[in-house]
């Protein structure tokens, strides 16, 4: 009979973890589902038999003092397909105790801003409900300055092991300890404020500076303002997502603003000046003589502040000539005389092609 340690390729003083690691490595290579060669099946039975002995402290001791290490019969322990997969392909890998202190989650908060706030930036005080460190226990989760004690069941390992048999031999699997939930320790005297979690729900106000030029979808990261982790762990980050509200009469396009105004026909023909309200106060718009419907007047630097770069965009004023729908008899006679003087009639009508239509016709339609 071959030496069991040599079969698994480990030293005689190898630890349980080293034996398990060696067995799992060999099992992946020689398992019948992986390698159908009949010779490999015999090899698999050999390494499984070796593992059956060396993974059991009592059988290993018996083997080391000269016994064969094999006991008779199968145990009554339950063994299923999931346990085989765990042992062979990683599920049974030792996890060790889980840390009680873990990093906190990031948080996301959506904030609405109007167009003027997006143009110039603003300051906000935001109230958020989040997980904060428990001030009563300082995040430890323990009351009365006590400390967690080592779990009596898993002895601090955070996991328990179960030996089971199948037609393939004996396999040892590891599971998170049910007594301590895998922490390896138990809080015997939990804090009455946080029930041992080390954190509590809290409401706080955070000042936020929203930069000029933001738009819907932009996010502002506030480091360390997210949720505190279990056990008083490092807090995550808070992300502020911008939602820009639509304006009553302005339309934004990147850093430019668009506005549509309707002027009387006479003002468009003779020329005039109109006053419009902007974010920078009242501004004069010059309507030149003979202005056509669809013309655009650009007011430089009156748009939105550029988020990346310097300066501001422009305010584009779209002119729509307001044609009267109904006129008096006197006005009608005057318009006819005006048409005769300009030699204008139905035979002078021009048909525009698609190339003649302005790009901002869609903008004007949106205002309508």
Q: Tens digit of pLDDT for each residue in 257-279?
A: 999 999 998 888 889 999 999 99
Residue 191 assigned to a binding site: yes
Q: Where do the CATH 1.10.287.110 domains begin and end in the chain?
A: 4-72
Transcribe 20-37 into DSSP letters: HHHHHHHHHHH-TTT---
CA–CA gap between residue 288 and residue 284 (Å, rounded): 12
Structural element, H or E, at residue 108: strand 107-113
The predicted pLDDT at position 74 comes to 32
Predicted TM-score of the model (pTM): 0.62
The predicted pLDDT at position 32 comes to 65
In the numeric block, the tokens 């396999």 are attached to 171
Transcribe 322-334 into DSSP letters: E--S---HHHHHH
Query: In sequence order, what are the beta bridge partners of 130?
Result: 202
CA–CA gap between residue 219 and residue 239 (Å, rounded): 6
Whether domain 4-72 has CATH 3.30.1330.60: no
Query: In sequence order, what are the beta bridge partners of 296?
Result: 318
CA neighbor of 169 nearest in space, from 95, 89, 71, 92: 71
Regions in the chain scoring below 70 on pLDDT: 1, 31-36, 65-95, 164-170, 345-368
Classify domain 251-367 by CATH architecture: Sandwich (2.60)
The predicted pLDDT at position 251 comes to 95
The predicted pLDDT at position 292 comes to 92
Residue 122 assigned to a binding site: no
Residue 142 assigned to a binding site: no
Q: Where do the CATH 2.60.260.20 domains begin and end in the chain?
A: 251-367
Query: In sequence order, what are the beta bridge partners of 133?
Result: 199
Structural element, H or E, at residue 41: helix 38-54
Long-range contacts of range 65-74, CB-CB < 8 Å, 24 or more positions apart? 68/1, 69/4, 74/165
Round the CA-based radius of gyration of the chain to a whole number and report it.
40
The predicted pLDDT at position 355 comes to 56
């Amino acid at each position: 009979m071959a030496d069991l340690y040599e079969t698994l390729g480990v030293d005689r003083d190898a630890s349980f973890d080293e034996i398990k690691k060696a067995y799992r490595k060999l099992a992946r290579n020689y398992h019948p589902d992986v390698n159908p060669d009949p010779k490999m099946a015999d090899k698999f039975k050999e390494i499984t038999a070796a593992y059956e002995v060396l993974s059991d402290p009592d059988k290993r001791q018996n083997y080391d003092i000269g016994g064969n290490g094999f006991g008779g019969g199968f145990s009554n322990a339950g063994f299923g397909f999931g346990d085989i997969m765990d042992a062979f392909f990683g599920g049974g890998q030792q996890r060790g105790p889980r840390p009680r202190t873990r990093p906190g989650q990031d948080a996301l908060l959506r904030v609405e801003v109007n167009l003027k706030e997006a143009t110039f930036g603003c300051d906000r005080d935001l109230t958020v409900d989040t997980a904060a460190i428990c001030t009563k226990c300082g995040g430890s989760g323990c009351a009365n300055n006590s400390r967690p004690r080592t779990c009596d069941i898993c002895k601090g390992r955070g996991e328990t092991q179960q030996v089971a048999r199948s037609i393939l031999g004996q396999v040892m699997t590891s599971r998170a300890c049910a007594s301590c939930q895998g922490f390896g320790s138990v809080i015997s005297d939990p804090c009455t404020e946080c029930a041992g979690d080390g954190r509590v729900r809290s409401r706080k106000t955070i000042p936020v500076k929203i930069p000029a030029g933001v738009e819907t979808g932009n996010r502002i990261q506030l480091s360390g303002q997210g949720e505190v982790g279990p056990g008083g762990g490092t807090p995550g980050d808070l992300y502020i997502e911008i939602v820009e509200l639509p304006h009553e009469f302005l339309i934004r396009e990147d850093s430019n603003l668009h506005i549509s105004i309707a002027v009387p026909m006479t003002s468009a023909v003779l020329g005039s000046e109109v006053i419009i309200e902007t974010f920078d106060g009242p501004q004069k718009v010059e309507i030149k003589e003979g202005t056509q419907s669809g013309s655009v007047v650009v007011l430089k630097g009156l748009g939105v502040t550029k988020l990346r770069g310097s300066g501001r965009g422009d305010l584009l004023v779209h002119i729509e000539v307001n044609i009267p729908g109904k006129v008096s008899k006197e006005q009608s006679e005057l318009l006819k005389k005006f048409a005769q003087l300009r030699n204008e009639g139905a035979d002078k009508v021009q048909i525009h092609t698609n190339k003649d239509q302005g790009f901002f016709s869609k903008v004007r339609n949106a205002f309508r």
